[in-house]
Amino acid sequence: MKRIIHVRIFPGEKQYVAECLDLPVVTQAPTLDQLAVNIKEAIGLHLEGEDLAELGLAANPTILASLELEAVA
């Protein structure tokens, strides 16, 4: 069972975007702080009422986010 839910964060055209790699969850926000709140809430709503074991997730999984930065020329 997975204990970690992986999230990819990257700058969009106008906002930061968070894309969950383990679940069909995507959200965006103007700041990284707000994005962290949004992705946690979106994952929680997606998992609400679900059997985590059936999804291959351990109880109370951790969210691990990776931030992709644009290369500096």
The CB-based long-range contact list for 67-72 (8 Å cut-off, 24+ gap) reads 67/9, 67/10, 67/32, 68/8, 68/9, 68/10, 68/11, 69/11, 70/11
- DSSP run (H or E) holding 7: strand 2-11
The number of distinct structural domains making up the chain is 1
pLDDT above 80: residue 62: yes
Q: What does the pLDDT look like over 4-61, one tens digit per residue?
A: 999 999 999 999 999 999 999 999 999 999 999 999 999 999 999 999 999 899 988 9
41 domain-assigned: yes
**Amino acid 69: pLDDT:** 86
Q: Which domain holds residue 50?
A: 2-67
**Would you say residue 72 lies in a domain?**
no
pLDDT at 40: 96
The pTM assigned to this predicted structure is 0.88
Quickly list H helices, the chain. Answer: 32-47
